[in-house]
Amino acid sequence: MPILKNRSGELTALEHMANDLAGSCLPLVEIGTTRGMCGADGPSCTTTLKRELTISLDTLRKHWNVRFDLMVDAHGLPGANDWNATAHAVKDCFDSALLGVIPVVRLSDPEAVLREVGSAVRRAIFQPICIRLTAADLHADAAARLGERLEQALHALEATTRGIHLVLDLGGISSETEAVGKTRLVERLLLDLPHPEEWLSITVAGGAFPPDLRGIQAKTLARIERREAGLWRRVRQQLRERTRVPAFGDYGVAYPTPNRGRGFRASPQLRYTIDHSWLVVRYRRDEQYSRFFDICGEIADHPEFTRGLTWGDDEIAARAEQLRADRGAAHAGPGNGSTWRAIGTSHHIGFVIDRLRTEDQP
């Protein structure tokens, strides 16, 4: 399960995903806004929110293969007392018959919100629902009451476990110590989870990619450990033959929490996923974007480059060939930050799916 932001780079990666890959994953797309909006609740705020969500859903329709469902988490939109974004997403998509949306709810949602989402799903030919557990649900007193709170949510949704995708979202994993602690937490929660075999799916997700690349030296090939993949392997090893082994989810080549700060010009860079690490190459922010050709050449020459695996790999190979030929006559330009994120995300998703198929690990 790739967890992606509703942004150009990630959506371009989805658009170019081959059907065999698209049918083997269930993306979760987070919808939010980068603009300050709705300073106060009221009719004008609701109208703005509806327009924002409609634009986001229309964008998803253009980028995702309509034969496959995907999950939509609209919790990134500001709240409005008189409008339920999650229920609206289900109704909007199924009324138009252009996008199969699995709505994402959280245990922190008010009971009235859960009831409305459940009702919308039942009108939409009983589409499944995703319950996404976040950090607030997974430790201390909240974790001790997890079974009870899940039962309450199911009651409000008027749903059974057989129609629910359950996601344990661990968020960021910034150190090995944190990875070990979260491994133990997941093991304990899954062993205590009521009716583990009855859920439609259970996924453990997290992200270990850092918030930025300031710690990566420019013009060098660096490695960043994929701690979320290691965590999942340990969980699988501990739970095998004891309870249901969860599916794998991650945040791709992005940090789980979006950067809310002021935007800036991205430096030429590429984040390339391999077995247990990411390969990262970046140049300084004041370098020309054409440096991306040099980056592609370095990655394409790496022994772990997976030529032909995904659209992203094809884009890297094409730019590497242009580097060796005549860069001035290039058919594909160096692109920009969105291009580089799309290429890295495309490769990451395809690489993880291929690894799970062939090696039974991400």
CA 68 to CA 352: how far, in whole Å? 19
**Cβ neighbourhood burial of 236 (10 Å; 0-12, 13-18, 19+):** middle
222 near 279, Cβ under 8 Å? yes
Q: What is the pLDDT of residue 40?
A: 45
Tell me what pLDDT residue 14 has: 94
Global pTM value = 0.92
Question: Residue 347: its pLDDT value, please?
Answer: 98
Strand ranges, E, within the chain: 3-5, 28-32, 70-76, 101-105, 129-133, 164-172, 201-207, 222-225, 247-250, 269-273, 277-282
Check: CB of residue 86 under 8 Å from CB of residue 105: yes
Q: CB of 47 within 8 A of CB of 88?
A: no
The amino acid at 263:
G
The helix/strand/coil state of 38 is coil
Task: Encode pLDDT of 272-284 as tens digits.
Answer: 999 999 999 999 8
List the chain pLDDT tens, one digit each, 362 residues.
999 999 999 999 999 999 889 889 999 999 986 555 554 455 567 788 888 888 888 888 889 876 788 899 988 887 666 778 888 777 766 665 566 788 999 999 999 999 989 988 887 766 899 999 998 898 877 788 898 999 999 999 999 999 999 999 999 999 999 999 999 999 999 998 988 999 999 999 999 999 988 888 999 999 999 999 999 999 999 998 888 999 999 999 999 987 655 556 788 999 999 999 999 999 987 788 889 999 999 999 999 999 999 999 999 999 998 877 765 555 678 889 999 999 999 999 999 999 999 999 99
Helix (H) or strand (E) holding 111: helix 111-123
Distance CA 102, CA 86 (A): 9
Which pLDDT does position 100 carry in this prediction?
Answer: 75
Residue 78 DSSP one-character state: P
Residue pair 267/283 in contact (Cβ under 8 Å)? The answer is yes
